[in-house]
Amino acid sequence: MDYEAPSCPDCESQMKKYDFQKPSKIPDLETTGMPTRILLKKRRFKCNHCLKMMVAETSLVKKNHQIPRIINQKIAQKLIENLL
């Protein structure tokens, strides 16, 4: 994933694109009966003024989590179905 560089949350200076993190293997719903994983390379940013580092966020996965929202929703749906 590639994003425009944001402003630094600490000093408000414009951050610069730094590099990518090691790809995260994000599990996804099965496709045609086969396990599926998304290889997600998250962009890192660095502030040249205060040296703060920051990682780009995505709507696929909550911040500091590894299980995608769609999987959490599917688990909740299965639990509800089992209760009924």
Give me the pLDDT at residue 2, please: 63
Nearest CA to 5 out of 45, 40, 42 is that of 45
In a domain? residue 39: yes
Give me the pLDDT at residue 47, please: 95
State the pTM of this model: 0.59
Cβ–Cβ under 8 Å, residues 32 and 42: no
> For the chain (length 84 residues), average pLDDT per consecutive 10?
81 89 80 81 90 84 78 87 82
* Helix H or strand E segment including 31: strand 24-31
In a domain? residue 42: yes
Give me the pLDDT at residue 42, please: 81
Give me the pLDDT at residue 1, please: 54
- Residue 37's domain comprises 16-83
Give me the pLDDT at residue 10, please: 92
As for how many domains the chain has, the answer is: 1
